[in-house]
Amino acid sequence: MGDRLPFRDLVVVLPGIGGSVLESPAGPLWDPSYGYAGSLLRGHHDLLEALAGEPESLDDPEHPGDVTASRLIGTPVTLPGLAKINQYRALRKALTDAFDLVEGDPRDDEGAPANYFEFAYDWRRDNRVSAAQLKQLIDRELPKWESGLASGRAKTVLICHSMGGLVAKYYLDVLGGWDRCRALITYGTPFRGAIKALSFLSDGFKLLGLEIRPVTELLRRYTSVYQLLPRYEAIDVDGTRRRLADITHDLGGLDVARARRAYEDFHLPLGSPGDARIMPVVGYGHRTLQSAVLRAAAVTCGYEALSPEIPGGDGTVPAVSALPVELSEAGPWRFQNNKHSSMHTKATALQRLVQTLSLYSGNARSLQNPDDDKVTHQSAIPDGPSVDLRMGDVHLVGEPVRFECVLSDPSVTEPPRVTMSGTAEVVRTETGEGYAYTVTGLRPGAYEIAVNWAGCSVSDVLEVS
C-alpha cells in the first residue's frame, strides 16, 4: 500500500466470545491452537473444571482472579452450538500495514506510549466487568499517548467483533467513554441479542441428535452468555410477541431470572448520545435464527423474520439485531454478505475499514472522491445476489462433513467455486436450492471454507473433533 499513513488516535480491537486466549498459573486454560474446543466435546474433566470458575467470582468486578486474558486467538475456534470465531491476524495486518501505529501491551502498566492495543478479555466474565477493565486501559493509555502529540487531542477508535461490541458499548454508554471516542465500529455485534443464544441455553448443544451435556452445562454458567439473549419481542406466546424478560417460568435449561437480570442490568442502561459515531457492519443473506414460539414450557426457535425489510443475518446474529437501537431508522449502516465467524477477515471489508479510518484521522486526501464513497453512506441491503453458506459448528472425526451453498439469484447456472484449508475428498451434488458438498478425510482441527459465486465471496469456519 506504500508508505503508512499517520494516525493520531488510539485504536483498540475487541474480539468476540471465545476470541481471547486465557491462561492460568498452571498453563493455558483456553487456547485454540491446542485444540481445546475439541477437548470440550470429549468432556475432559480437568479442562471443564478449570474453565467453569465460580460464577460469583467471575461476575464480581472486585475479584481479580488468577486467569489472564493474554492475547487474541491466532487460529479459528468454536464454542460448540453457540459461536464460531475466526482469527484476528488479517485485521491486525490490515491496520498495521495501512497506518503508522505503535503497538502496545495492555498488560504493561509502565509501557511506552502506544496507539494500537488488542484488548483480550476473559469472555467468561460479566461483560460489565470487561467494560470496566477496558475503561482502565483507555484511562491509562490515552493520556500517555496524547502527551507525545505535537498538538491537539487524541480520541479512541474501537473496532469490535461480535460480543466485543457489547463490552465496548457498555464502556461508552454507561462508563462515560463517549467523551473521548471518535468512533465505534462493529462486526456482527448482537446489540439486540441473538436467538441462537436462546436456543443454546434452553435446549443445550446437540450433536447427531444427542445433547453434549458438559458443553451445555459449562456455557450456561457464564453471565456473558445470558447477555447475548434477545432483548426484543422475539417470542410468540399464544399469538402475542413478548420479550424474554417478560416470561415468568424457566425454558428448558434457561434460567429466566438470570435472563431478566441480563436485560435489566446490562441492556437497559445502554443508550448513546445523539452525536455518537457508531458504524455497524451487518451480515446478511444467510439463514439465521430470528424468532421463537413458546407453547406450554417448550420453546421452538425458527427462521421467521420479524422485520421483512431486514431479513436473514450472518448465520448467528440476525441482521436487525446487529443494528444498534439508536440506528433503528437511520444509518450509517454497512451490509456484508459474510458469515459471523469471518466478517472481520474479508478483504473488501478490511479495505473499507482502512478507508473509513483514513477519514476519521484526517487523512481524507488519501482517498479519491471520498464524498462519493458508498461505503460511508450506504443504508440499505445491497441489490444483487447473495450467498447463503450453511454448515454446522462441530463435526466428529471420521464422519462426513456436509454443507450447502444457496444463491439468492436462481438464474445463475454456473456452480460456485469452493476452497478449503486442509486436504480432503470433496463431492458436490445439486439440490433444489443450490449445491450440497460432502467432505471426507478431514483430520481433527479447525478449517476455513471459502465460497466464490456470482461475484459474492463468503467464508466460514468449522471444527473436526
Q: Are residues 225 and 303 in the same domain?
A: yes
Determine, yes or no, domain membership for 112: yes
- φ, ψ (nearest 5 deg) of residue 3: -65, 145
Q: Are residues 133 and 93 in the same domain?
A: yes
Q: Are residues 137 and 250 in the same domain?
A: no
Give the CATH number for residue 447. Answer: 2.60.40.10
| Coil, helix or strand at residue 33 | helix
Q: Are residues 103 and 247 in the same domain?
A: no
Produce one character per residue of 19-37: b if its CB has 16 or more CB atoms within 10 Å, e if not. Answer: bbbbbeeeebbbbbeebbb
- Predicted confidence (pLDDT) at residue 180 exceeds the cutoff of 70: yes
Q: Are residues 134 and 204 in the same domain?
A: no
What's the confidence (pLDDT) of residue 354?
95
Helices marked H in 267-397: 347-360, 374-377
Place of cell 445491497: 382
What's the confidence (pLDDT) of residue 34?
64
What's the confidence (pLDDT) of residue 383?
75
Going by pLDDT thresholds of 50, 70 and 90, the confidence category of residue 273 is confident
What's the confidence (pLDDT) of residue 272?
86
What's the confidence (pLDDT) of residue 361?
65
The predicted model gives 390-411 an average pLDDT of: 93
What's the confidence (pLDDT) of residue 43?
62
pLDDT (tens digit, 9 = 90+) per residue, 160-178? 999 999 999 999 999 999 9
Express as a percent the part of the chain with pLDDT over 90: 72
Q: Which of 14-23, 46-55, 233-242 has the highest mean pLDDT?
A: 14-23
What's the confidence (pLDDT) of residue 372?
38
Determine, yes or no, domain membership for 95: yes
Is there a contact between 404 and 433 (Cβ–Cβ < 8 Å)?
A: yes
Question: Which one of 353, 377, 401 terminates a domain?
Answer: 377
pLDDT (tens digit, 9 = 90+) per residue, 342-396? 999 999 999 999 999 998 766 544 444 444 344 344 456 777 899 999 999 999 8
What's the confidence (pLDDT) of residue 146?
94
Q: Are residues 297 and 350 in the same domain?
A: no
pLDDT (tens digit, 9 = 90+) per residue, 252-272? 999 999 999 999 999 999 998
- Give the closest residue to 54 by CA, choosing from 40, 42, 66: 66
pLDDT (tens digit, 9 = 90+) per residue, 408-419? 999 999 999 999
Determine, yes or no, domain membership for 1: no
C-alpha cell at position 107 = 498488560
Q: How many helices (H) and strands (E) does the chain have?
A: 12, 25
Determine, yes or no, domain membership for 48: yes
d(CA 216, CA 154): 44
Produce one character per residue of 111-135: b if its CB has 16 or more CB atoms within 10 Å, e if not. Answer: eebbbbbbbbbbbbbbbbbbbbbbb
pLDDT (tens digit, 9 = 90+) per residue, 85-135? 999 999 999 999 999 999 999 999 999 999 999 999 999 999 999 999 999
Q: Are residues 210 and 346 in the same domain?
A: no
pLDDT (tens digit, 9 = 90+) per residue, 291-327? 999 988 789 999 998 888 888 999 999 999 999 998 8
Determine, yes or no, domain membership for 291: yes
What's the confidence (pLDDT) of residue 362?
60
Q: Are residues 69 and 130 in the same domain?
A: yes
What's the confidence (pLDDT) of residue 451?
97
C-alpha cell at position 373 = 464513497
Determine, yes or no, domain membership for 5: no
Structural domain that includes position 230 = 195-274+285-310
Q: Are residues 157 and 81 in the same domain?
A: yes
Q: Are residues 256 and 358 in the same domain?
A: no
pLDDT (tens digit, 9 = 90+) per residue, 68-89? 999 999 999 999 899 999 999 9
Q: Are residues 37 and 71 in the same domain?
A: yes
- Predicted confidence (pLDDT) at residue 66 exceeds the cutoff of 60: yes
What's the confidence (pLDDT) of residue 349?
92
Q: Are residues 203 and 187 in the same domain?
A: no
Answer left, alpha or beta for residue 204, where phi above 0 means left and psi between -120 and 50 means alpha.
left
Determine, yes or no, domain membership for 160: yes
Is there a contact between 134 and 20 (Cβ–Cβ < 8 Å)?
A: no
What's the confidence (pLDDT) of residue 36?
64
The predicted model gives 200-211 an average pLDDT of: 88
What's the confidence (pLDDT) of residue 48?
83
What's the confidence (pLDDT) of residue 376?
43
Determine, yes or no, domain membership for 3: no
Mean pLDDT of the chain: 90
Tally of domains within the chain: 3
- Predicted confidence (pLDDT) at residue 250 exceeds the cutoff of 90: no
